[in-house]
Amino acid sequence: MNKKTIKDIDIKGKKLIIRVDFNVPLDEHFSITDDRRITAALPTIEYALRGGASKVILMSHLGRPKGTGFEAAFSLKPVAVRLEQLLKEKVAFLNDCVGQAVKDAIGTCKERVVLLENLRFHKAEEKNDASFAKELASLADIYVNDAFGTAHRAHASTAGITQYLPSVAGFLIEKELQYLGSAINNPKRPMVVVLGGAKVSDKIELIKNLIPKANSIIIGGGMAYTFLKAQGIGIGNSKLEKDKVDMAKELMEQAKKAGVELALTKDFVITQAFESNDCKVSDTIPDGWQSLDIGPKTRQYYKDILSKAKTVIWNGPLGVFERDAYAAGTRDIAEFLAGLNDVTTIIGGGDSAAAVAKFGLEDKMTHISTGGGASLEFLEGKVLPGIAALNDK
């Protein structure tokens, strides 16, 4: 990691503006149902307070508001309440993120921690508008990016603001790059990649980038059926991207040439209707049936491969894990990984992280990425604008 972090600069007496990822799920009563993204930001916030920062100003988005002003459903107010409880310190919550009133409030409030209202109430945020970025920058002396979940977006609060302030990474971004970076560039071997999720099209660049680096690639979930189709195996009514069958053939050919094992589903949990929980295990998928999970033979096959691994990267569930009838494959593999010793297990955010959380296995994994899209793009070998914009060491 060749970017400066908050440890590389003098923060005593300085105002810090920190981009955090407080995009947490809320229920219909606006109660937070999962506060992991808030707890993930605490080490950086607490370090800033211990280091004598005069003000710690936090900014985030939440959800997808229209960008035309305040919308109660997307207010960060519930986050301020939860943050206060976790920090055990008063948090000043402001009802906007730019403007003279915000500047004045930051100057006069007694609280050391300030949370600004949702950045995306302003269209200018996602447009990476220079004047909006400059306004955000005018609130502080130093910018810290600790929002890995939005690091793949060139927005005003992730990229634009770096034009106007010294800009460094927080501890969460440092940790993400350390784990994901070493897994990709310097893994303990054998390195096994587990890929799932609905669509091949979402993972093409990832597979291309990982074929030269991995020892084995396991493919499950909805994307597996396009690969099976490419091998001439009947998939019934299962998920298929017809226009990606040739690409699947190409990827299998590339893996073969590179000497990389590409492991596909051998048996299936099939049903006649997606909505139905009435299902059975089968070695084939007859016409009129579709597969929504991997069967027991496949689970054993995958576990045999994983038992030899020293590094595992997992991105995407292996079945429709949200429903108990089709969760066994994802759960079994997650529990198997959780029980391995001396193996680095990296869960690539998004649905994979949600699955591991559902099964209560977060503490048993080496690292769970806080950014679904960002971790995917990083693993694809893409440059993340929010990280590229930070000051080099």
6-173 fold: Rossmann fold (3.40.50)
Does domain 180-379 sit in CATH 3.40.50.720? no
pTM of the model: 0.89
6-173 and 180-379, same CATH topology: yes
pLDDT digits (tens, 9 = 90+) for 66-115: 999 999 999 999 999 999 999 999 999 999 999 999 999 999 999 999 99
Is the C-alpha dihedral spanning 106, 108, 113, 117 positive or negative?
Answer: negative
Band the pLDDT of 350: cuts 50, 70, 90.
confident
Q: What is the mean pLDDT of residues 272-283?
A: 97
pLDDT score of 9: 97
Q: Is 222 a catalytic residue?
A: no
Q: Out of 14, 37, 120, 299, which one is annotated catalytic? A: 37
Mean per-residue pLDDT over the chain, rounded:
96
Q: Report how far Cα 177 is from the mean position of its chain's Cα atoms.
A: 12
Taking 80 as the threshold, does the pLDDT of residue 284 lie above it?
Answer: yes
Q: Out of 15, 112, 134, 199, which one is annotated catalytic? A: 199
pLDDT score of 207: 95
pLDDT digits (tens, 9 = 90+) for 114-124: 999 999 999 99
pLDDT score of 370: 86
**Residue 199 token pair:** 């669509």
Taking 80 as the threshold, does the pLDDT of residue 349 lie above it?
Answer: no
Q: What percent of the chain has pLDDT above 90?
A: 93
Taking 80 as the threshold, does the pLDDT of residue 166 lie above it?
Answer: yes
Q: What is the mean pLDDT of residues 250-279?
A: 97
- Give dist(CA 149, CA 159) in Å, integer: 14
Q: Is 220 a catalytic residue?
A: no
Closest CA to 189 of 90, 77, 313: 313
pLDDT score of 373: 86
Q: Out of 196, 349, 350, 372, which one is annotated catalytic? A: 350
pLDDT score of 36: 87
| Annotated domain spans of the chain | 6-173, 180-379
Q: What is the mean pLDDT of residues 291-303?
A: 98
Taking 80 as the threshold, does the pLDDT of residue 11 lie above it?
Answer: yes
Q: Is 52 a catalytic residue?
A: no
- Give dist(CA 305, CA 301) in Å, integer: 7
Q: Is 199 a catalytic residue?
A: yes
* CA atoms within 13 A of residue 344's CA, in its CB half-sphere: 20
